[in-house]
Chains A and B, each alone.
Chain A
Amino acid sequence: MTGDFTTIFVIAVTVGFAAYSLVINSSFVILTVLATVASVREARRAEFAGFDETFAEPNPIGVSIVMPAHNEAASIVASVQAMRSLRYPEFEVIVVDDGSTDGTAALLVDTYDMVEAPLVVSDSVPVLGPVVNTYVSPRGDTSLVLVRKANGGKADALNAGLNVARKELVCMVDADSLLDPEALLHVTRPFADDPVHVVAAGGVVRVANGSIVSNGRVIKARMPRRILPTIQVVEYVRAFLIGRAGWSQAGGLLIISGAFGVFRTSAVHEVGGLATDCIGEDAELVVRLHRHIGDTRDSARVVFVPEPVAWTEVPEDFGTLARQRRRWHRGLTEVYSRHKSMMFRPRYGFIGMVTLPWFWLFELMAPVVELVGLVYFGAVMTRWGLEHYGVAQTDLVQGWVVVLLFACATSYAIAVSVFALLSDELSFGRYSSITDQLRAVAGALGEHLGYRQLTAWWRMQGMVAALRGSKAVWGDMKRHGFDDEGPTGGR
């Protein structure tokens, strides 16, 4: 009797894990379809978008690009150079040096002949680290501003940038990101199309490792040679081209990446700027905007544009990757701690009723489920082995069923990743060689051979750290920087 019960329990738990995997991957299939429709539509629209005419408009929407920088000496000049050469009629670049100790500010001052200027820094968004001084470059047509401030974290640096920003839109971009030359033209388009409603727009972030960079621009997209960044390429394609484009198409975009997002400046001021006590400040800002929209019964919208691209360098060593993933998941946990009351509240619309619950179950809790599942799988396999060799005689475990269901979950996840890559190829075709596509497929396979399990462990550590309320550590990220005319990182 006990044996029967245990056998049924083992099978029920196994089927439960398999069902979880089935639902999460099936929801990604739906998102893939939605994202592919959106991306193909965007690609077609671009043919008739008339971006060239944007330059002839007498009243273009001005954009302040705010780049927070903390010890970014390796890549800051290339990033600023890329920002200044963007195709857009009216914008300024504001670099906020958040107490760097590696000479980031001095490098900028020297490179661009910057001069200290008494710019008025408003106090409409409170900042932790006071602004020390402000510099302006007399060179070039585009305004370049450097704000030096005491260290207060990335969100604090962005808030200081907001207090200096002069334009109608503010583009928040990581200092280690490179934007495609037309990225601003694409991502500001929804604000011009629907100025009454659009308050925020996010773009795609792609992996720069392995690509050819010249003058601060990615001139040829290539897959990294190493497996670790290649796996992250697959992750980014799934997260941005499928996840965000799909959610946006469904009307429930929750996150705009801090690596590249554009906001209506007045909307960010209205909600009080970025939260300095939350490590996932980018996600928290967008969720707070959604909360504000719901609370004020506003009809404002947050949108995702599949084409504008920011390129970022991803970690190539396990230590940096671990810190990044702990930080990301800690941020997500903090966002949920603050905004859990939005879940299942009709006033927050699709976000409250669908997106937030989905993210809670399949993003926030995913590492817990994956790790418990892994431990459970190990225990069942051990027991099965013992039965097989006659050490235990209870015949409790249906080993093949467990193995097959585990294989099903893995193969489904691989199929979803392959279809994400296929969607990317159909929509944008950024990677022009078959070798690159095969490398990406290798990344989709390699993700399941230890990488996924490790990241689940790190993510759970981040979650535990957030729940315990331990001190958040940003941690420096090892970067190779963007080499001119050479492959970036991941060689």
Chain B
Amino acid sequence: MGESAHNLLLAIAWGLLLVFTGLAVVGVIALVGIRAARQATSRRRQRDRGAIRSRIVAAIVDEGDAAAEADRELMALRGTAWDHAEAAVIAMLPKVRGDAQERLRTVLRTRGTEQRALAQARSLRAFVRCKGAFALGVLRSTDAVDRLIVLLDDRSALVRRVAVRSLGQIGDARAVEPLLALAARDLGLTRDIVFALHEIGLSGAPALRAAVGSWQPDFRADDRPAALAASALGMIQDVDASLVLADAVLRGPIALRLAAAKALGHLDTPLSLAPLQAALRAPSHQVRVAAAASLGRLGAEVAIPALVDVMRSTDSATARAAADALMELGPAGRAALESSGAPHAIEALALHRLRSG
């Protein structure tokens, strides 16, 4: 091995050692520095925001003149004090109920928060767009619905999520179709879209019914708008949807049948019973379980023979769901369980006795 090669290797080794040691030292300094900075920031925030927070709490809990005075104090804040107050009110508003919620919204609107939020919703920075969309939802700004619908196509998943939730909070039926369309192309927002459709409520029911009725025979598992619409119809208890859901639970693809079986359990109408009893014989055990649970929730005594029959199923989940449903049906259901002797019947009765003391 030549002297020059040896020297080169030695130089590389020294260089790497210096670089790695330097990186480790820089890392340690950054670690300690960031922690120290965070401690200082946390102390300063506590000091600055303590007083503002107490004014906001006063605006929330006080009533009459005291509440009006607290509102006036908030309106009078200027500069960074107002910035802190605005951020705190926006963060707290979703948890505030009743009169105080609308008063705080009025304070925000009067101070121009809505315009600033609309401007933020157009920002180039995703996090700022999120903040804007979130504020527009909190303010229930109907003027912002179109802008929020545009944000459903945002390149940032977080912005899309916040826009979905804000559209739900605003509760405008114009958002239903765009939300269902989003469900078809964004598989990661199911829960948020269901939340939004639930929040929009009965005003969105016609569009939801149309979506459930529009399923195609070549339905794929990922084509979820119809299934989501069915779930939402159950949650908003749209009794007028019973026919379209009954059709879906009997003839639809599995994901739609499952959603429809669950939804029918929330519709207090006799029209739900026959399709749910038929669904107890569905090929999918998930659909059978959902149908049994729905029949129990509806208190459908007429379904007792069918449920007793299902309780003999070899599939434990189905049998247990049938036994639980029978327990929900009151004395008649319990009598059926007692005369059954099936293991799941014995289990359901034992648990009932235990929990009822």
Q: Which residues from chain A sit less than 8 Å from chain B, CB to CB?
A: 4, 7-8, 11, 15, 41, 44-45, 48, 50, 52-53, 57-59, 115, 117-120, 122, 124, 136, 138, 166, 189, 192-197, 266, 398, 400-401, 404-405, 407-408, 411-412, 414-415, 418-419, 421-422, 425-426, 429, 431-434, 437-438, 441
Contacts and interface: CB of A to CB of B under 8 A. Distances in A.
Given A414-B20, A421-B27, 15 more contacts: A48-B165, A57-B195, A58-B198, A58-B234, A58-B235, A196-B224, A400-B10, A411-B21, A412-B16, A414-B24, A418-B27, A432-B35, A437-B35, A438-B32, A441-B31
Contact of B190 (A117, A193, A411): A193
B17 interface: yes
Nearest to A7: B1
Contacts of A434: 32, 35-36, 39
A425 B33 CA distance: 11
B266 A58 contact: yes
A197 B319 CA distance: 27
Contact of A118 (B31, B190, B191, B346): B346
Contacts of A431: 35
B192 interface: yes
B269 interface: no
A426 B351 CA distance: 48
Given A50-B165, A401-B9, A422-B27, A432 B20 contact: no
B1 A8 contact: yes
B17 A411 contact: yes
Contact of A45 (B27, B31, B158, B224): B158
Interface in B304-357: 316-317, 319-320, 343-344, 346-347, 350-351, 354-355, 357
Contact of B262 (A59, A120, A414): A59
B346 to A, nearest CB: 5
B354 A115 contact: yes
A118 B350 contact: yes
B188 A193 contact: yes
B94 A52 contact: yes
Question: B interface, by DSSP: helix, strand, loop or mixed?
Answer: helix
B221 A401 contact: no
The 8 closest A-B pairs by CB, nearest first: A404-B13, A418-B27, A192-B191, A122-B316, A411-B20, A415-B24, A415-B23, A412-B20
Interface in B66-112: 94-95
A419 B187 CA distance: 34
B356 to A, nearest CB: 9
Nearest to B189: A193
Interface residues of B, number: 63
Contacts of B192: 50, 193
A418 B31 contact: yes
Contacts of A425: 31, 34-35
A7 B3 CA distance: 12
B31 A195 contact: no
A411 B34 contact: no
Given A115-B354, A120-B320, A411-B21, A404 B188 contact: no
Contact of B316 (A120, A193, A266, A411): A120
Contacts of B51: none
A48 B317 CA distance: 35
B30 A422 contact: yes
B272 interface: no
Contacts of B320: 120, 166
A119 B343 CA distance: 8
Contact of B187 (A115, A194, A407): A194
A437 B191 contact: no
23 contacts: A7-B1, A11-B9, A52-B95, A57-B195, A57-B198, A115-B354, A117-B347, A117-B350, A118-B343, A118-B347, A118-B350, A166-B320, A193-B190, A194-B187, A195-B190, A196-B255, A197-B187, A398-B10, A414-B20, A415-B24, A437-B31, A437-B32, A437-B35
Given A418-B27, A429-B38, A407 B1 contact: no
Nearest to A135: B354
A441 B28 contact: yes
Nearest to A164: B316
Contacts of A193: 188-192
B162 A48 contact: yes
A194 B221 CA distance: 12
B256 interface: no
A162 to B, nearest CB: 11
A59 B30 CA distance: 45
A44 B158 contact: yes
B13 A398 contact: no
B219 interface: no
Contacts of B344: 120
B231 A11 contact: no
B6 interface: yes
Contacts of B31: 418, 421-422, 425, 437, 441
A146 B189 CA distance: 36
B14 A4 contact: no
B198 to A, nearest CB: 8
A419 B29 CA distance: 11
Nearest to B285: A266
Contacts of B38: 429
Given A138-B354, A193-B190, A194-B188, A48 B24 contact: no
B17 A419 contact: no
Contacts of B1: 4, 7-8, 11, 398
A404 B130 contact: no
Nearest to A192: B191
Contacts of B16: 408, 412
Contacts of A115: 354
